[in-house]
Amino acid sequence: MFIRFLNIIPLFFILVCVRVLSQQVTTNELTPDIIYEKVDNSVVVIIAYDNLGNVFQGSGVVIKDGLIVTNYHVCKDANRIEVKHYTKEIKSVSVYKYDELKDIMFLKTDDRTLTPINQGNSSSLKAGQRIYAVGSPEGYENSISEGIVSGFRTDANNFKLIQMTCPITDGSSGGAVLNSRGELIGLSVSGQHEGALYFAIPVNDVIAMIGTDNLYTDNSDAVNYYEIGTQANENKNYKDAEVYFSKYLEKFAGDASAYYNRGYARFKLKEYKKAISDFSAVLEKSETSESFFYRGNCYYSLKDYKNALTDYTKAIQQEPDNYDIYYNRGYANFRLKNYDEAIADWQKAIELNPEYESELNGKIKIARDEANSNITR
């Protein structure tokens, strides 16, 4: 059902939780030397060779046994990849999966001597928090630098990035960014060294890829963007869905289903005006009840109840047995003070779905009282 209210958590409870969590963070902080010792066997050097004989070097982080994550741009042109860790050389390396837009690539090896890193939670990071970067800048293997979280930004594709003061240079890409407990909270990705601007990919975006199929993307194969966007919607990763359907539509601008799916993601993100534009694009090609319904929901959310009513009515014309549409149109009529019409809609919703009866009977009574009040005025 469309219109719902959430219970508000008491402020006292929130404050207590924050206080307890803050105490835990403080007591679990480690010194830089202990952090380095903890992750030294988890951060590696990535060496990529292309067909022209060029050699590219970056860093990588062991996520699971035999699974290493790095940046896509480190290995994008490689026909052969090796992993190095001090005197150890791992030559049997294959690409497991990657996401070009997010600049993330997973590599698979048979090695089990490296140590999977402990994973943190990038969503709990705060500006000013102490962090550390471990990578191999200019080939200086497993160097550590210290800094703080400067803020949170988005890249050209609207994906989140962590801005930090930990210095990283060429060769650091794909290295580990750690919190003060030695947990991975990001993947070094880029920097503007003269301006001391350095960035990392949040670890939550990295971990979200593990176990997800169909993540191989390529600019020459936009069809994969549609598949990834669809999967993102199914997983409720609506921001990702919006990005990938936008990329797909750059090449296939006439695909109504992509506009619908992007509109749905934007609706869930509460980007109602953008969603209306997408559903309108669908309706120009084909008048579907689903597009009228969700565009009506967008109008309703913007308090444009007149247009919402129009769209709900068109949706009902195409799908006269859909109780959710009657349910929502009842609210639009109620907001427009069309009380008799609201009562009729809600009664129809109950007829089609008796589970609505306990909820809507009270609404119907309120609408009747309002209608009678208008008559007596």
Torsion-angle region of 53 (φ positive above 0: left; ψ -120 to 50: alpha; else: beta): left
pLDDT band at 221 (very low <50, low <70, confident <90, very high): low
pLDDT(34) > 90: yes
| CA–CA–CA angle 69, 74, 78 (5° rounding) | 105
Mean pLDDT of the region 25-41: 83
Domain boundary among the residues 86, 109, 132 is at: 109
Instruction: Name 237's Cβ contacts closer than 8 Å, sequence gap at least 6.
Output: 208
pLDDT band at 25 (very low <50, low <70, confident <90, very high): very low
pTM of the model: 0.60
Secondary structure (H, E, C), 226-286? HHHHHHHHHCCCHHHHHHHHHHHHHHCCCCHHHHHHHHHHHHHCCCHHHHHHHHHHHHHHC
Question: Residues 65, 136: one domain?
Answer: no
pLDDT(148) > 90: yes
Question: Residues 313, 232: one domain?
Answer: yes
pLDDT(174) > 90: yes
pLDDT band at 113 (very low <50, low <70, confident <90, very high): very high
Beta-ladder partners of 69: 61, 106
User: Residue 20 domain-assigned?
Assistant: no
Question: Residues 371, 231: one domain?
Answer: yes
Q: What per-residue confidence (pLDDT) applies to 171?
A: 87
Number of helical (H) and strand (E) elements in the chain, helices listed first: 13, 13
Strands, E, within the chain: which ranges? 43-49, 55-64, 67-70, 80-85, 88-90, 93-99, 104-109, 130-135, 143-154, 160-164, 176-178, 184-192, 197-202
User: Residue 6 domain-assigned?
Assistant: no
- Lowest-confidence pick of 4-8, 85-89, 240-244: 4-8
Task: Verify whether residue 103 is a known catalytic residue.
Answer: yes
Q: Domain with 172 in it: what CATH number?
A: 2.40.10.10
Q: What per-residue confidence (pLDDT) applies to 2?
A: 45
Name the domain count of the chain: 3
Q: What per-residue confidence (pLDDT) applies to 375?
A: 63
Question: Residues 363, 282: one domain?
Answer: yes
User: Residue 23 domain-assigned?
Assistant: no
Could you give the CA distance from residue 27 to residue 24 in angstroms, rounded to a whole number?
A: 5
pLDDT band at 17 (very low <50, low <70, confident <90, very high): very low
Q: What is the DSSP string of 189-215?
A: EEEETTTTEEEEEEHHHHHTTTT----
Q: Which of 59, 173, 180, 289 is catalytic?
A: 173
Q: Domain with 257 in it: what CATH number?
A: 1.25.40.10
Instruction: Name 230's Cβ contacts closer than 8 Å, sequence gap at least 6.
Output: 241, 261
Could you give the CA distance from residue 282 to residue 288 in angstroms, rounded to a whole number?
A: 8
Question: Residues 245, 291: one domain?
Answer: yes
Using the structure block, give the residue that is written with the tokens 């084909």.
286
Question: Residues 190, 228: one domain?
Answer: no
Question: Residues 253, 339: one domain?
Answer: yes
User: Residue 141 domain-assigned?
Assistant: yes
User: Residue 175 domain-assigned?
Assistant: yes
pLDDT(9) > 70: no
Could you give the CA distance from residue 246 to residue 258 in angstroms, rounded to a whole number?
A: 8
pLDDT band at 286 (very low <50, low <70, confident <90, very high): confident
Question: Residues 179, 229: one domain?
Answer: no
pLDDT band at 276 (very low <50, low <70, confident <90, very high): very high
Closest by CA to 35, choosing from 114, 112, 118, 113, is 118
Task: Round the average pLDDT of the chain to a whole number and report it.
Answer: 86
Burial of 291 (0-12, 13-18, 19+ CB in 10 A): buried
* 157 or 311, which is more confident: 311
Full domain range(s) for residue 182: 29-33+123-207
Task: Verify whether residue 193 is a known catalytic residue.
Answer: no
Question: Residues 239, 278: one domain?
Answer: yes
pLDDT(201) > 60: yes
Could you give the CA distance from residue 161 to residue 326 in angstroms, rounded to a whole number?
A: 43
pLDDT(4) > 50: no
pLDDT(195) > 70: no
Other residues' Cβ atoms within 10 Å of the Cβ of residue 278: 28
Mean pLDDT of the region 164-193: 89
Q: What per-residue confidence (pLDDT) applies to 273?
A: 97
- Measure Cα distances from 108 to 60, 91, 99, 141 in Å: 12, 11, 15, 21
Question: Residues 351, 231: one domain?
Answer: yes
Q: Which of 40, 73, 155, 246 is catalytic?
A: 73
pLDDT(218) > 90: no
Question: Residues 294, 332: one domain?
Answer: yes
Domain boundary among the residues 207, 236, 253 is at: 207
Mean pLDDT of the region 130-157: 92
Mean pLDDT of the region 178-199: 85
User: Residue 128 domain-assigned?
Assistant: yes
User: Residue 95 domain-assigned?
Assistant: yes
Q: Using an 8 Å Cβ cutoff, are 78 and 50 in contact?
A: yes
User: Residue 288 domain-assigned?
Assistant: yes
Could you give the CA distance from residue 44 to residue 116 in angstroms, rounded to a whole number?
A: 11
Domain boundary among the residues 60, 82, 109 is at: 109
Question: Residues 279, 338: one domain?
Answer: yes
Percent of the chain residues past pLDDT 90, beyond the cut: 61
Task: Verify whether residue 73 is a known catalytic residue.
Answer: yes
